[in-house]
Structure 1
């Protein structure tokens, strides 16, 4: 500074010193952040490794669930079979992949995506061991979880369907002796493959409306459903009608008898409530 210069001395050295201190603190924070990230990604033991494994496993489960939902169009997309009413084509402990009725629907049948036994026989369409579609339906007027049985034939409101029924699956002598004959509305007559009578001529269900059908069974995987059933047997009983094998519902296991047919009960795998007289998986 010249002799005549009256300006105060510059404090640039202090500013630069302060700036250096601030930059050093930020660098330390960055180092800590990088250190935590590096440990999370690369530690072979300890809490970071445990957290990484938990998060990656959860991510895989979520990804698989999203993929299955995208394919099936219904949740849960899998159910575990709880009883023997669909034997020999479904066994207790089987895991069943279901889809929304309209997905992957065959040419046989109509726009509903459901092919009845009668239609399947005419078109030579088989599903899970016999003609027609195996459907999951939930009667809102009946207690208990949804049911998985085969759609046998369609009826129209007011129809006398006694003559169309297989006489081996009814005990009545005429339409008047059948509770739901004439048909009260357009619907399906259903039956468990291992049951002696139609669901509608026993205490299982009224004729099944199309809107009650929540899914159609597509693929059977033996044994895997036992895992879901094992969890379901320890779950507390549900009072809201949720399916037995949903996370909070108990399983129901009704063995078929000549007096009272069983409903095939299912069990969903760890998922939000509802799809079957079987247990969603």
Structure 2
């Protein structure tokens, strides 16, 4: 037996029409933290898209920085070369990746400093940044407020040592120790030299012999030109 009773239109309408209380207006604002986060992630609003891209880039930079710090043990892990004193191996505007001098240091490094000098490097065939020995980044006289210097560690001197005969006379501006600045050595440390400079840093009074505690790290990798952005931001 068939049911000839016509369907009730009101019942279909009630099934197909959503509850007005559940419908969201396109002009309604997000409510609650979850809705706001979803909106911020998906909206095409220009200002929000820009802020989202900036935040994403900043996060990527932070992640890369943390990875480099973990690998190098130095913060910041990179420095920009500000002068031509290390040419041709490093030029102004190059970006240099640093590493803690104690990491991966060979057994013939100077004492517990982790630094291999030019003299020892030449004997052992140890080369960094185009020549023998380590290139170090150090604070002149240990002063925190001064710009760090990136030069090669040439040899080690002991406290009160007359290091005139140990030095290469080509890089001295005197005929004996008394005529050379910081000779005898006022403290134990490294005598340093820019590969493109004519005189030792200590011989011109740029710094006393570099104590190990003044060293920020050793130069491990040079990326040409990439440091210009950093120099521009810092006004150099």
Interval containing the TM-score (normalised by the shorter chain): 0.7 to 0.9
Do structure 1's residue 136 and structure 2's residue 141 form an aligned pair? no
User: Structure 1 length normalisation: TM-score?
Assistant: 0.68
Q: Post-superposition shift, 1:58?
A: 2.0
Q: What CA distance in whole angstroms lies between the structure 2 residues aligned with 1:164 and 1:102?
A: 25
Kindly indicate whether structure 1 or structure 2 has the higher relative contact order, using CA contacts under 8 Å at least 6 residues apart.
1
Do structure 1's residue 114 and structure 2's residue 115 form an aligned pair? yes
On the 8 A contact 2:73/2:99 being kept in 1, the answer is: yes
Q: Deviations over 1:141-196 (max 9, x none)?
A: 59731111100000111222111110111121112222322222211100000000
Q: What CA distance in whole angstroms lies between the structure 2 residues aligned with 1:141 and 1:79?
A: 17
Equivalent runs, 1:1-281 vs 2, <5 Å: 32-33=31-32, 35-110=35-110, 111-138=112-139, 139-140=141-142, 144-233=146-235, 251=236
On the 8 A contact 1:142/1:205 being kept in 2, the answer is: no
Moved beyond 6 Å, runs of 4+: none
User: Structure 2 length normalisation: TM-score?
Assistant: 0.80
> Matched residue of 2:142: which SS?
coil
Question: Structure 1 regions of 5+ residues with no counterpart?
Answer: 1-23, 26-30, 234-250, 252-281
On the 8 A contact 1:161/1:181 being kept in 2, the answer is: yes
Question: Structure 2 regions of 5+ residues with no counterpart?
Answer: 1-20, 23-29
Deviates more, 1:144-153 or 1:54-63: 54-63
1:8 corresponding residue in structure 2 = none
Deviates more, 1:120-129 or 1:49-58: 49-58
Q: What CA distance in whole angstroms lies between the structure 2 residues aligned with 1:52 and 1:144?
A: 37
How many residue pairs were aligned? 209
Q: What CA distance in whole angstroms lies between the structure 2 residues aligned with 1:197 and 1:47?
A: 55
RMSD across aligned positions (CA): 2.4
